[in-house]
Amino acid sequence: MTYKTLLTGILILLSGLAQALETPSPADIQLGSVKATVVELENGNTLYSKHSDWQTPIASLTKLMTALVVVEGPQDLEEWVMIPEPDRETRKNAYSRIRVGSTLKRKDLLRLALMSSENLAAYTLGASYPGGVEAFVAEMNRKAQSLGMVDSHFADPSGLSSRNLSTAADLVKLVTAVTKHKVIEEYSTTPRYTAHFRKPRYSLGYGNTNRLVHRNSWDIELSKTGYITEAGRCLIMVSTVEGREVAIVLLDAFGKLTPLGDAGRVKRWLTTGNGGKVAGAALRYEQAKSREYPHYDKVSSF
Q: Report the catalytic residues.
A: 60, 63, 117
User: Is residue 82 helix, strand or coil?
Assistant: strand
List the beta bridge partners of residue 198: 103
Instruction: Please state, in angstroms and rounded to a whole number, the distance separating the CA atoms of residues 53 and 230.
Output: 17
Strand-by-strand arrangement of the 45-50 sheet: 45-50, 35-40, 244-253, 232-241, 220-228
List the beta bridge partners of residue 194: 205
HSE-CB of 233 using CA atoms within 13 angstroms: 19
Task: Of 260, 187, 271, 262, give the one whose Cα is nearest residue 221.
Answer: 187
Q: For residue 237, give the DSSP letter.
A: E
Other beta carbons less than 10 A from residue 257's beta carbon: 15
Contact between residue 207 and residue 194 where contact means Cβ atoms under 8 Å apart: no
Contact between residue 147 and residue 221 where contact means Cβ atoms under 8 Å apart: no
Instruction: Please state, in angstroms and rounded to a whole number, the distance separating the CA atoms of residues 258 and 235.
Output: 10
Q: For residue 158, give the DSSP letter.
A: S
